[in-house]
Amino acid sequence: MSIRSISIFIPILIIAALLLSCNEPKEEGRFYNDDLEFSIVFPDGWSTMWDPESESWCALSPLEDGSDMFYEAIGVASFEMPLRFEVEELFEEIVAATREESPGFREKDRGEAYINDHLALWITYVYKMPEGQVQAKTYVLTDGCRGYIVTCDAEPHKFSDYQAILEHSAESFRVS
In SS3 terms, 63-92 reads as CCCCCCCCCCEEEEEEEECCCCCCHHHHHH
Set out the domains of the chain in order of their start, with CATH numbers: 26-175 (3.40.1000.10)
CA distances from 21 to 6, 39, 165 (A): 22, 19, 32
CA distance 116 to 41: 13
The torsion region of residue 87 among left (phi > 0), alpha (psi -120 to 50) and beta comes to: alpha
Give the three-state DSSP class for 168: helix
**pLDDT, tens digit (0-9, with 9 covering 90-100), for 67-92:** 777 889 999 999 999 888 899 999 99
The answer to whether the CB of 113 falls within 8 A of the CB of 122 is yes
DSSP tag of 46: -
**pLDDT, tens digit (0-9, with 9 covering 90-100), for 20-68:** 344 567 888 899 998 888 999 999 999 999 988 888 999 999 988 877 7
In this structure, what are the phi and psi dihedrals at residue 32, rounded to the nearest 5 degrees?
-115, 140
The answer to whether the CB of 144 falls within 8 A of the CB of 166 is no
CA distance 48 to 73: 10
**pLDDT, tens digit (0-9, with 9 covering 90-100), for 157-176:** 999 999 999 999 999 999 98
Average model confidence (pLDDT) across the chain: 86
Cβ atoms < 10 Å from Cβ of 36:
18
CA distance 68 to 97: 29
* Selection from 150, 151, 136, 140 nearest residue 90 by Cα: 140
The answer to whether the CB of 122 falls within 8 A of the CB of 137 is yes
The structure's pTM equals 0.83
